[in-house]
Amino acid sequence: MFIKKITGIKSIGRFRTVGISGGEYGKYTLFYAGNGRGKTTLCAILRSLQTNDPSFVLKRRSFGSQTSQEAQFLLDSGIARFSGGAWNSQAPDIHIFDQHFIKANVHGGHQIDVAQRRNFYRIVVGSKGVALAEELDALDTTTTTKQQEITSEKRVLQQHVPKGMTLEAFLKLASDPSIDTKIAEAEKTVKAVEGVAVIAGRAKLMPVKLPALPADFETLMAKNLADVEADAAARVQAQIEAHGFSTDGEEWLRTGLRHVREEACPFCGTSVSGNILITAYQGYFSAAYDALKADLVALKSQLDADLGQAAGLRASQGFKEAATDAGFWSTYVDHGYVSPDEAAKIVIQTAVLHAAASTRLASKLGAPLESAAVTPEFTSALAGWAENLKGLEQANTAMAAANAKIEKTKQVNAGTNAVTARANLAKLAAIKVRHSQPFLSLADGYNGMLSDKEKLVAKKEAKKTELDTYDADILGSYEKEINAVLGRFNAGFRIANCGKNYVGKVPQSEYCLQFDGNDVDVTRPDGSGPSFDSSMSAGDKSTFALAFFLAQLNRDPDVSNKVVVFDDPFTSLDDFRREMTAKAIVRVGEAASQVMVFSHDKYFLDAVRQKIQGGKWVAMQVSGTKGNATIEPWDIDREVKEGYLQDHMELSDFANGITNDAKSMRTMMRPLLEKYIRYRFPNQIQDNHWLGDMLAIIRDDQDHPLKAQYQEIDDINGYTAPFHHDPNTAFDPDEVLAHVKRTLLIVGGC
């Protein structure tokens, strides 16, 4: 990049309708301008062009101007124009050293704040480091945003978390496919524990005695008496029928046989010996027969007891009571017992079977010696009851199993703490909520956010490591570069411990200044021990800022394509540092595409010019006119005179304490002011006019550039006049020093 010429400025600072003359600029372009003539404004315009930031121009609108602001530069790449509040192009290849650069990146005059250390860092690490830092900052911002989302979502999730449990613990609860069953059991446990006194006295389920046929029913139905002949029975039955004894004949005959004595008939006394009928009677009414008859009679009673209506009703009522007890216990334990459907059929089916069995028994009683045949009615009734009996027997078995669980519950609950039971239920309920909607979806989203944040943090840490590795080398090298410049300037301090930190998340540089091996913390405020402001002179601060800028240029790999601008690159520097500054600027020009130097000190500009070897240089002047400024060629040879420079140097040495010849200084101030005014306004001052005449010209011209300094010049003229008339006039060295400093402030270069 190369700036060929400033071709136009309007309504910016002192440049209302600037007049511009002269040709194109050189590799070294030296601008001479007194204080307040527009040097800072030109640098602001250049910075606006560099950054493409219109604000640097917009905030410098000329006072009272209503016309639009404009600026135009002729570059080697074409016209760069500011119009309508914006540039038509950007020229980033410009380095500018001025007060803005110093305050933004190095120090604010009295301290080095966080913003300056951050900018310092960004400049040191260069475009690559800045890109890494921006990536890190972007990741940090994204991570912060993600954390904000997580925090917001966490508040939503927290509404579902049981009291006394953290969200983190809640999220870790594992799913359980049998959670509903466990919750039901836990609820029963809680109720059981809370009702332990009630259940302690409550009976368990009572298995029901089931109606049944007497065990020997079929045996008796099939039984006969082999020792009773069939003809005897026939004779007995015939005799009974012959005498009409069908109702109670057998009993009458049985009684009569018991009264036979000495084989004589109890009715007629006739001998019964050899009577076949009596023999038949005796066989029929034998003891075995009597026993069978007795068993059958007993069977009838047993049948009524085991299978009669009362037995059926008792069994039915037993299952009803079991159902009631099961309902009670189901509140406290999942016992598994269910009342059988068959219970409702007990009364009916037992009545049917009882009737069918009674019919068979009656038939048997009528013919005890014959087997009672199984009737279809009995078979059907028995099959129906047998089928029903299966469910009833299974129910009784289930009662036994249920009673085991009930007993266990009673024993466990007797020793279980109610708080523990409730806590277990609460945990199970929490598991259900954790793995149910809507929390399940919310948790999945939340866990996804946490996973995303973990990935962002990992990327951030990786980027931070990459940046730290890069910075460790760059910052160390930069420290060496700055110290090399400070060494060349013979500075009494060095920069040390260059590094960075992430205070406030944005990277910032950290370093200290060393004075004879003693570290000074640059972040320490003034007044609490050695600080930047208390340890550094004005010249040191200026040198430090310039060293920083020069180190930046030395590390710029593309400096050959850059335009470097210096605006009053020194203040309060001694002659040696002034000389070194001039040399440094020339060396920059040897490496850069172009150097532009703005200064109010014509002799410093001449010192720069004298060191240029082979490069084209051009001298320009920013001159003040009434309410305006012009940019025009400057005759540096005519403006710079040897006597003036010598006087200026001697006064500067005295002001800086290098010499102490106050007597000689008394008569050097007035001639220096005369030369300064004569050189600055060559067309206004006649050869025979001296300082008093010059003061009259300034006093009479309300728009004269030195009008604001009139009183200072007049004071110095009045103070020095007695010494010119009588060199032996008494003087106070401190007063001489004060007036020398006032003189140097007027002519510049102090």
Tens of pLDDT, residue by residue over 133-155, are 778 788 888 998 989 998 898 88
Res 750: pLDDT: 45
Same domain? 610 vs 646: no
Mean pLDDT of 169-177: 87
Same domain? 596 vs 694: no
The answer to whether 157 and 433 are in contact (CB under 8 A) is no
Same domain? 634 vs 647: no
Per-residue pLDDT band at 94 (split at 50, 70, 90): very high
Per-residue pLDDT band at 36 (split at 50, 70, 90): confident
Per-residue pLDDT band at 161 (split at 50, 70, 90): confident
Task: Confirm whether 203 is domain-assigned.
Answer: no
Whole-model pTM: value is: 0.50
Res 547: pLDDT: 85
Same domain? 733 vs 659: yes
Same domain? 739 vs 662: yes
How far is it, in rounded angstroms, from Cα 727 to Cα 750? 26
Domain boundary among 598, 620, 638: 638
Domain boundary among 602, 620, 638: 638
Structure tokens at 66: 């209503």
> Quick check: 80 pLDDT over 60?
yes
Task: Confirm whether 679 is domain-assigned.
Answer: yes
Can you give the residue range of the structural domain that contains 633? 3-93+558-638
Per-residue pLDDT band at 231 (split at 50, 70, 90): low
Mean pLDDT of 461-472: 82
638: enclosing H helix or E strand = helix 636-639
How far is it, in rounded angstroms, from Cα 696 to Cα 682? 16
How far is it, in rounded angstroms, from Cα 502 to Cα 509? 9
Res 644: pLDDT: 75
Per-residue pLDDT band at 340 (split at 50, 70, 90): very high
Task: Confirm whether 244 is domain-assigned.
Answer: yes
Same domain? 734 vs 689: yes
Same domain? 9 vs 40: yes
Task: Confirm whether 608 is domain-assigned.
Answer: yes
Task: Confirm whether 58 is domain-assigned.
Answer: yes
Res 711: pLDDT: 92
> Quick check: 685 pLDDT over 80?
no
Same domain? 621 vs 648: no
Per-residue pLDDT band at 588 (split at 50, 70, 90): very high
| Winning range, highest mean pLDDT, from 248-257, 378-387, 703-712 | 378-387
DSSP secondary structure of 93-152 = -EEEESHHHHHHHT--SS---HHHHHHHHHHHHHHHHHHHHHHHHHHHHHHHHHHHHHHH
Domain boundary among 265, 285, 305: 285
Same domain? 657 vs 738: yes
Same domain? 615 vs 656: no
Task: Confirm whether 26 is domain-assigned.
Answer: yes
Total domains, the chain: 3
Per-residue pLDDT band at 227 (split at 50, 70, 90): very low
CATH code of residue 28: 3.40.50.300
> Quick check: 108 pLDDT over 80?
no
> Quick check: 532 pLDDT over 90?
no
- 9: three-class secondary structure by DSSP: strand
Task: Confirm whether 156 is domain-assigned.
Answer: no
Same domain? 25 vs 70: yes
- SS3 string of 671-686? HHHHHHHHHHCCCCCC
Same domain? 88 vs 13: yes
Task: Confirm whether 39 is domain-assigned.
Answer: yes
